[in-house]
Amino acid sequence: MSKELAKTYDPSGLEDRLYKKWEDNGYFHAEVDRSKKPFTIVMPPPNITGQLHMGHALDNTMQDILIRYKRMQGYNALWQPGTDHAAIATEVKVIEHLKKQGINKDDLGRDGFLDECWKWREEYGGRIIRQLKRMGSSADWQRERFTMDEGCSKAVEEVFVKLYNEGYIYKGNRIINWCPVCQTSISDAEVEHVEQAGHFWHMKYEIVGEPGRYVEFATTRPETMLGDTAVAVNPADDRYKDIVGKTVMLPFMNREIPVIADEYVDMEFGTGVVKITPAHDPNDFEVGKRHDLPVINILNDDATINSNGGEFEGMDRYEARKVIVQKMDEMGLLVGIEDHVHNVGTHDRCKTTVEPMVKPQWFVAMEELAKPAVEAIKTGELQFVPKNYDKTYLHWLENIRDWCISRQLWWGHRIPAYYCQDCGETVVARASEAPTKCPKCGGVHMKQDEDTLDTWFSSALWPFSTLGWPDKTEDLDYFYPTDVLVTGYDIIFFWVVRMVFSGYAHTGKSPFHTVLIHGLVRDSQGRKMSKSLGNGIDPLEVIDKYGADALRLTLITGNAPGNDMRFYWERVEQSRNFANKVWNASRFILMNLEGVELTQPEEADLAVADKWILSQVNTLAKDVTENMDKYELGIAVQKVYNFIWDEFCDWYIEIVKPRMYRKDQDMVSANAALWTLKTVLTDALKLLHPFMPFITEEIFCTLHPEEETIMLTDWPVYDENRHYPKEEAMIDRAKDVVRGMRNLRTDMEVPPSRKAKIIITSDDAAVRGIFTEITESYQTLAGASEVCVQAGTEGVPEDAVSVVIPDAVMYIPLEDLVDFEKEKERLTKEKEKLEKELARSKGMLSNEKFLNKAPAEKVAEERAKMDKYQQMMDDVLARLAQMK
């Protein structure tokens, strides 16, 4: 072998080099090949504003593990990558960027601002992709897509027009989440519920026609009373049956509003009376629809009170709240104020408290579209791993509301709707068919809708738009439906559900058969990583320090689907230590293979230890494959880790060293050992490759210079002919001897360098035969000067120390283990020291003053000490007696 591994493992020196080799050779690229079975994963597209964080690192490591595994299994594996235009996030970033230059978005105009957004995308859009490459992600970068590229934009337009023509998309006044700072509607996915300290204001409205009689209720948002159009009670509530149908007077507005009965009201909560503000509360909006109540919006887009707010017009919402509470108090209508901590919806981008608000927006009617997505879970056509997320998915789908898809932004897919400025007619059409003339009145003043589409609208089409849909491409026919979606549990509702119903609506199929859910990566204290806590860990910092392989191994070890995990730097160090172990073991094997012409040994030439390790790696291949197929990636890698570290490095390599060093005397045995080492290392590297691609590539290509890359070699497959249960049981006996001897040395403080004779006795001839046959497998590791296997104890010295092992007893002459004179001297000193400690303890425990005045725990502690000293004294006396 001409090539050598560097003396020390340095990931920084090899990772960039190897990644460039993979990319330059097109190893990640997949083309339609009907002779192979496809396996497809679509990468959840990271935002173009994005910076790699631990969530991305985990998500993409899991995808890369699966795609590398399937590639080695012979599948035509496509990992489809791309990025998301991230409408709100990017618009906010670009606005901030322009502000620093003293430029206002509105001054640029729409086209000028969009030019700036595209420049941003050119400059920053590829940043996270470059970072994902450092993780070792083997995505097909030749196919990289962007949610606003020509093909994806065509798909978005096609879907909008199709759903509009089918009656699923409509424009209407419904309640939405409104951000007063960004001044756009936002999706539920962008609303972050944060615990805030607030109040319950207990107030009352007077019943019209019954002076002095009131209904009392509590609210967390007093300012919304300006838009109240009813108060509601439960129809079964006897306390209020007589006032249903009557009206109450709304203070400040001098407006009578009805008392209605609706089962939405919880009789047990508070007073059993609820104020109804259909324009500013989702539940109230539904109640309002049932009772045909007026919808009165009292807020401007910037969350100041509008003209519907009467005397409070122009005030900020919180300023109006203070004044309203003060005035209600002065009017005698404030009953009391109660402290209350509640979850408040905030915009995840700017952290502003969002306002539920009724505004004219575009919506997708979801009831019918959701049905196939529900059925997919019930029939098993779609499965979640772990399965308990079925319930989360179904709960959301079965309670789904119509989806608000319009956003008051400039960056994004512009809604393909055109309005006649003369008669108000709406025309929805593809850009290529944009109307220049109104089909209703013939007017030529047509104007396109100013709004853009929700980012999720385009990412919902991602699994098929990236493969060429709506065109009937070869890629779409071959690679779709995709196989597995890997994602966090936090976007099941927002993205997974939308991809599934979109897949059925536009392709007639579920976009994937499995959704593999992972949890969050938390800090070492279990806290969510965040900028505010300052506890985020930069994956690139970890890679710079320890290498991508160490980070990947850390993220996947102990990882169970759906569960959160904690990040510890100590675990990264352990992963790096494992990489060093693999590297050093491989260097040792390569050094011993240097100049040797290996031949495949005959079965008879394989030693017991050879068959044992071959059998072990064979079973490992079967077990790991089963775990991988069940998406138990954490269990799979732990098995590979344990095998390499324990069985292969700590046992087999040490067992066969004597045979390797006897090349000149017994080349047949040495060849068998070296062939086995190379064979097992090869399989172990293949099994490790999906998890730690860089180090396995470097070692494998050094071990097999005739091979281009490990990633295109065959995944190890279980072979019945390599199952050696007898030899496995025999080596287990060898391990018993070594462990027994090592434990004895530890207990008696015998240095490993001191050799000792081992006498193994057993009444079972078969057992004796095994110990005789495998002597070489344990003699060196046990530090035995010689081994004698016999039936009885004849010839065993009286002072021999015994160790019981299964079906046998092991004896070691005491004189082989210790230097008698030195040991007697040491034990005598230990005896004198213990006599003093025992005398002190006994003295204290016979002292009445100590027993009466000392705390009980102190007395108990002293008794425990005395018991411990007595036990130690008994051991020392026994050892001294044995010496005599």
Residues making up the annotated binding site for ATP are 531
Asked whether the beta carbons of 811 and 801 are under 8 A apart, the reply is yes
Can you tell me the distance from the alpha carbon of 666 to that of 561, in angstroms, rounded to the nearest whole number? Answer: 50
| Other C-beta atoms lying within 10 Å of the C-beta of residue 535 | 15
Of 520, 482, 624, nearest to 58 (Cα)?
A: 520
The single residue listed with the structure tokens 């086995």 is: 676
Residue 631 burial (CB < 10 Å; 0-12/13-18/19+)?
buried
Can you tell me the distance from the alpha carbon of 231 to that of 247, in angstroms, rounded to the nearest whole number? Answer: 9
Q: Using alpha carbons only, what angle is made at residue 587 by residues 583 and 590, rounded to the nearest 5 degrees?
A: 135
- What is the SS3 assignment for 5? coil
Can you tell me the distance from the alpha carbon of 600 to that of 787, in angstroms, rounded to the nearest whole number? Answer: 31
Can you tell me the distance from the alpha carbon of 119 to that of 487, in angstroms, rounded to the nearest whole number? Answer: 30
Can you tell me the distance from the alpha carbon of 589 to that of 328, in angstroms, rounded to the nearest whole number? Answer: 85
Residues in the annotated binding site: 531
Residue 264 burial (CB < 10 Å; 0-12/13-18/19+)?
middle
Tally of CA atoms within 13 A in the half-sphere of 370 that contains its CB: 17
The set of long-range contacts for 552-555, using a CB threshold of 8 Å and a minimum separation of 24, is: 552/61, 552/64, 552/135, 552/136, 552/691, 552/692, 552/693, 553/578, 553/579, 553/637, 553/641, 553/691, 553/692, 555/54, 555/57, 555/58, 555/61, 555/521
One-letter amino acid for residue 602 of the chain: E
Asked whether the beta carbons of 231 and 275 are under 8 A apart, the reply is yes
If DSSP states are collapsed to H, E and C, what string results for 199-234? EEEEEEEEECCCCCCEEEEEECCHHHHHHCCEEEEC
If DSSP states are collapsed to H, E and C, what string results for 619-673? HHHHHHHHHHHCCCHHHHHHHHHHHHHHHHHHHHHHHHHHHHCCCCCCHHHHHHH
One-letter amino acid for residue 882 of the chain: Q
Can you tell me the distance from the alpha carbon of 741 to that of 735, in angstroms, rounded to the nearest whole number? Answer: 10
Of 237, 279, 283, nearest to 259 (Cα)?
A: 237
Considering just the CA atoms, what is the radius of gyration of the chain in Å?
37
- What is the SS3 assignment for 762? coil
Of 695, 670, 686, nearest to 593 (Cα)?
A: 670
Can you tell me the distance from the alpha carbon of 649 to that of 38, in angstroms, rounded to the nearest whole number? Answer: 37
Can you tell me the distance from the alpha carbon of 711 to that of 349, in angstroms, rounded to the nearest whole number? Answer: 40
Strand pairing class (184-186; 230-233): unpaired
The single residue listed with the structure tokens 């969050």 is: 520
CA-based max dimension of the chain? 120
Can you tell me the distance from the alpha carbon of 124 to that of 143, in angstroms, rounded to the nearest whole number? Answer: 19
Structural element, H or E, at residue 306 = none
- Sheet with 417-420, edge to edge strand ranges: 426-428, 417-420, 446-448
Can you tell me the distance from the alpha carbon of 857 to that of 765, in angstroms, rounded to the nearest whole number? Answer: 56
Partners of 757 in the β-ladder: 786
Can you tell me the distance from the alpha carbon of 420 to that of 736, in angstroms, rounded to the nearest whole number? Answer: 88
